[in-house]
């Protein structure tokens, strides 16, 4: 994960936006979470490490949630949705997963990494 992506995710979160990182697998979601946590100054932020529910929460209301495609993302309404390469591949191969993710992408700013 490059620093420009992590800086952008954290900047959006600090502006109060809801960011959802959608990865192709739980392992990939945990990897991205770890990369963001390790690359940034997280002073004043809450880091949640619950397995499958990883998140970084800002006091101003912004947050970054890290989910895998298979874990389900229904009910999320993010301002920014970030799709990893693994998520893009999984969505292309499985129409059911694509149907689950499509509604939240409709209103979000979508970024592919």
- pLDDT exceeds cutoff 90 at 64: yes
**Which value, in Å, is the radius of gyration of the alpha carbons in the chain?**
13
Tell me if 105 sits within 8 A of 81, measured CB to CB: yes
4-30: average pLDDT = 90
Residue with structure tokens 């309404």? 77
What are the chain's domains?
3-112 (3.40.50.300)
- What is the tens place of the pLDDT at every residue in 79-93? 998 888 777 677 677
Instruction: Tell me if the pTM is above 0.85.
Output: yes
């Amino acid at each position: 994960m490059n620093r420009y992506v992590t800086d952008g995710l954290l900047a959006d979160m600090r502006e109060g936006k809801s960011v959802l990182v959608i990865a192709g697998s739980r392992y990939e979601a945990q990897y991205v979470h770890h990369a963001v946590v390790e690359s940034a100054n997280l002073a004043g932020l809450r880091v949640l490490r619950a397995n499958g529910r990883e998140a970084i929460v800002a006091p101003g209301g912004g947050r970054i949630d890290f989910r895998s495609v298979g874990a389900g993302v229904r009910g999320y309404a993010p301002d920014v949705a970030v799709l990893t390469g693994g998520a893009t591949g999984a969505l292309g191969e499985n129409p059911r997963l694509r149907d689950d993710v499509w509604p939240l992408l409709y209103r979000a700013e979508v970024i592919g990494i």
